[in-house]
Amino acid sequence: MGPRLRLLLDTHALLWALKGSSRLSTRARLLIDDPAHEKIISAASAFEITTKHRIGKLPEADAISPDVQAALSPFGFAFLPISVTHASTAGALPFPHGDPFDRLLIAQSLIEKAPLVSNEKLFDRFGVERIW
């Protein structure tokens, strides 16, 4: 068995993992399902899920949108708040990337030294360790 990992899940990876979607890569699925690894959900993902659900862009989040933390707690996820350091790092990141949710996840991944589970290749430009 390899070292214990702290995995920060991108919002889409979280949702696909919960649904058992085939859109989640095999490697990501194996790491997420392995109880030896810590799976972290950012407050940015809760913000993204509830915002996109409210405006109709994420209707499949009906079950978790009313209380993301309560809905996800039974799955053993750890929750990561957004600190001032996370927010200011996200705002100062180089390269154009207009999605504030992604910028926060990138900053948190860098600061917390937690690989980001995501299919977003654009994240590689920011120096994060990305698992997919």
Give pLDDT tens digits for 74-125: 999 999 999 999 999 999 998 776 789 999 999 999 999 999 999 999 999 9
Burial class (CB in 10 A: 0-12, 13-18, 19+), 86: buried
Q: Which pair of structure tokens corresponds to residue 15?
A: 């949702």
Could you tell me the CA-to-CA distances from 100 to 36, 69, 81, 92, 105 in Å, in that order?
31, 20, 15, 12, 9
Domains in the chain, CATH or no CATH each: 6-131 (3.40.50.1010)
Considering the entire predicted model, what is its pTM?
A: 0.93
